[in-house]
Structure 1
Amino acid sequence: MAFSKGSWVAIAFLLFAPLVSAANGDHKLSGRYYDKTCPNVQRVVQTVMANTVARDPSVAPALLRLFFHDCFVNGCDASILLDSTPFFESEKDAVPNTSVRGYEVIDEIKSVLEHDCPATVSCSDIIALASRDAVGMLGGPSWNMPLGRKDSRRADKDGAEKLPSPHDNFAALVSMFRDRGLDARDMTALSGAHTVGMANCVNYRDRVNGDADIDTSFARTRRQTCPAGRDIDGGMAPFDEQTPMRFDNAYYKDLIARRGLLTSDQALYGSGGSQDGLVEMYSRNGARFAKDFAKAMVKMGNISPSKETPVEVRLNCKMINWS
């Protein structure tokens, strides 16, 4: 039996219409959300992640960063994955996101899951699981990640331009995290993600070329890759020189030694009181940091898009359904 192009569109709409929600509904996330509909989801994510990280370990911190940059713009809704359309600009083009990568890994996981469990697993849940597995593959903690997120049908480039800046001071950071339901302890634990990965010269140039609150030998070393007054393309430097690809508590030891790479890193230590005590505790007790980090990742992962946000389970993470 032959069908016209219009007939196929109509049939597809009828088959997949339940995937689209007019707006974000109130529902609780659950670690067992896919137990019946896609029981292999965690195994699929872990398998693709293990193969990818074995080829390129730097993908692991990149995917952890991807999760942060998604959740901090209207909640964890995979809006960062959307390409531009005539109706909205992509968050990928926002200045804070120009160096974000790992999109192709999410696409690969999605492709496998669409084969195994069509139209079931959201792109936002894939990001959440991939970031969790990334931490574990770098030697960090694991946790039971609640699932059941939906994908936004729109992006917010303007919102993405307002992501936390590497130049922010402590007060600005506290305010930005508080606006998303995260307290100073959550912020301090989540900032420990900078125990892995790299930063571009443009993000640390001011600190190493003019900040008084910095170890002089550290600043001298970093100025070799990022001198003042020169437009260095790249100039990548590790957040943690000692164990740049191991998820540990070295980040906090660096802060105490005034060797935080970004202004926003060092802002977490030096003001005195309970905040300094928290950094000192994490520097001594890696297990406490790991526990608090896992707890804060779950809390951040619970940030929902606004109730007015139209959501769905995207069939392709780069575009909304029936665009």
Structure 2
Amino acid sequence: MAFVAALLLSSVLYFSAFSQGNALSFNYYTKTCPDVEYVIAQVVRKATMKDKTVPAALLRMHFHDCFIRGCDGSVLLNSKGGNKAEKDGPPNVSLHAFYVIDSAKKAVEVICPGIVSCADILALAARDAVVLTGGPTWEVPKGRKDGKISQARETRQLPAPTVNISQLQQSFSQRGLSMEDLVALSGGHTLGFSHCSSFQNRIHNFNSTHDIDPTLHPSFAASLKSICPINNKAKNAGTNMDPSSTTFDNTYYKLILQKKSLFSSEQALLTIPRTKDLVSKYASSKKAFNTTFVNSMIKMSSITGGQEVRKDCRVVN
């Protein structure tokens, strides 16, 4: 715990330029809402029993929240009037399971009204999602506040699946995250599903000399082309991120080394020695991946920026 506390302190200092200074602590709700983590975990567990895609959705939702205005729950807000919110921005239209956060908020409000932020609920739910799928657990720092601003146009800041390694590095470094964090957090892609649009660039008209990205394994590329033909009209066509897409493991890194990853941004991790070495490290050691993933999640989730505790996660007070 001492190590995690030291890591949290360094993370909060690291993010001071990006955050608005909300102080986080592990015992933030010890007196005001001691059962909050148990209540949220039960909601996430029940939802996952009914829908195995919930954990991947919650983990992705938390990441997409933190990368815009810090972890302030702005991704949860609904569009209103002339304002188009983050959840309706192009990278977020495939986000789902918002109802799980709504259910958790409702349950928490019963036992301690007006105390726990939606941003904290999302951060805790993301941790629970990893645990429920066989991944590691960790103490989540708490005390985030909810943001009042959510704009779809700001979702352009999210790293796209087509970006290269320098663009990835810039995106993460702007948020105080290292190359190690970049590779470890990318491992969250071990969970979930991808639509064809996210990897279409690699299997059709790749460039002037290749129809298919030559860094893709030929048989894997052929299978992707059969799932996603060039004139594909199926709205929900796509494939799982890896064969064990409902289990949190290190298969993702093994697939990258086998040239069987879906996104250009994943293949990009092999283009420079530092990230390539980390991919190899995590592919050969699930323990090493889990350890770094936990540290990186604490760092990322410590980016703050909100101002209030919402009564309803979908609207500002």
Scaled by the length of structure 2, the TM-score of the pair is: 0.89
Please name the residue that 1:9 is paired with. none
Q: Does the CA-based 8 Å contact 2:20-2:304 persist in structure 1?
A: no
Q: CA deviation at 1:233?
A: 1.9
Q: Does the CA-based 8 Å contact 1:88-1:154 persist in structure 2?
A: no
Query: Which residue identity is paired with 1:216?
Result: P
Please name the residue that 2:255 is paired with. 254
Summarize deviations over 1:20-74 as a string: whole Å, max 9, x none: xxxx853421111000000000000111111110111111100000001100111
Please name the residue that 1:298 is paired with. 298
Structure 1 residue 171 and structure 2 residue 173: aligned? no
Please name the residue that 2:275 is paired with. 275
Could you tell which deviates more after superposition, 117-126 or 24-33?
Answer: 24-33
Could you tell which deviates more after superposition, 161-170 or 83-92?
Answer: 83-92
Summarize deviations over 1:178-236 as a string: whole Å, max 9, x none: 11111111010000001111000111111133211100011111111101243442212
Could you tell which deviates more after superposition, 156-165 or 213-222?
Answer: 156-165
Please name the residue that 1:204 is paired with. 199
- 1:223-238 alignment, distance < 5 Å: 223-238=225-240
Structure 1 residue 64 and structure 2 residue 59: aligned? yes
Query: Which residue identity is paired with 1:165?
Result: A
Query: Which residue identity is paired with 2:290?
Result: A
Please name the residue that 1:3 is paired with. none
Q: Does the CA-based 8 Å contact 1:76-1:304 persist in structure 2?
A: yes
Structure 2 residue matching 1:161: 3-state secondary structure: helix
Provide the rounded CA distance (Å) in 2 between the counterparts of 1:234 and 1:168. Answer: 23
Please name the residue that 1:286 is paired with. 286
Q: CA deviation at 1:114?
A: 0.8
Structure 1 residue matching 2:290: 3-state secondary structure: helix
Q: Does the CA-based 8 Å contact 1:125-1:148 persist in structure 2?
A: yes
Structure 1 residue 39 and structure 2 residue 40: aligned? no
Structure 2 residue matching 1:51: 3-state secondary structure: helix
Structure 1 unmatched ranges of 5 or more: 1-23
Over aligned residue pairs, what C-alpha RMSD do you find? Answer: 1.3
Please name the residue that 2:308 is paired with. 312
Q: Does the CA-based 8 Å contact 2:199-2:262 persist in structure 1?
A: yes
Could you tell which deviates more after superposition, 184-193 or 87-96?
Answer: 87-96
Q: CA deviation at 1:87?
A: 6.4
Please name the residue that 2:8 is paired with. none
Structure 1 residue 28 and structure 2 residue 23: aligned? yes
Identity %: 39
Provide the rounded CA distance (Å) in 2 between the counterparts of 1:76 and 1:117. Answer: 21
Structure 2 residue matching 1:237: 3-state secondary structure: strand
Provide the rounded CA distance (Å) in 1 between the counterparts of 2:21 and 2:71. Answer: 14
Structure 1 residue 95 and structure 2 residue 90: aligned? yes
Q: CA deviation at 1:276?
A: 1.1
Please name the residue that 1:159 is paired with. 154
Summarize deviations over 1:252-274 as a string: whole Å, max 9, x none: 000000001111111111x2422
Q: How many residues were matched structurally?
A: 292
Provide the rounded CA distance (Å) in 2 between the counterparts of 1:300 and 1:225. Answer: 34
Please name the residue that 2:242 is paired with. 240
Structure 1 residue matching 2:68: 3-state secondary structure: coil
Q: Does the CA-based 8 Å contact 2:22-2:145 persist in structure 1?
A: no
Which structure is larger by alpha-carbon Rg, 1 or 2? 1
Provide the rounded CA distance (Å) in 2 between the counterparts of 1:193 and 1:141. Answer: 12
Provide the rounded CA distance (Å) in 1 between the counterparts of 2:272 and 2:85. Answer: 40
Q: Does the CA-based 8 Å contact 1:72-1:163 persist in structure 2?
A: yes
Please name the residue that 1:215 is paired with. 217
Query: Which residue identity is paired with 2:229?
Result: P
Provide the rounded CA distance (Å) in 1 between the counterparts of 2:237 and 2:31. Answer: 48
Runs of 4 or more above 6 Å deviation:
none
Provide the rounded CA distance (Å) in 2 between the counterparts of 1:288 and 1:25. Answer: 32
Scaled by the length of structure 1, the TM-score of the pair is: 0.88
Q: Does the CA-based 8 Å contact 2:65-2:73 persist in structure 1?
A: yes
Could you tell which deviates more after superposition, 61-70 or 258-267?
Answer: 258-267
Please name the residue that 2:14 is paired with. none
Label 1:199 to 1:107 Cα distance change in 2 as closer, same or farther (>3 A). Answer: same
Provide the rounded CA distance (Å) in 2 between the counterparts of 1:257 and 1:281. Answer: 14
Q: Does the CA-based 8 Å contact 2:62-2:126 persist in structure 1?
A: yes
Provide the rounded CA distance (Å) in 2 between the counterparts of 1:258 and 1:229. Answer: 25
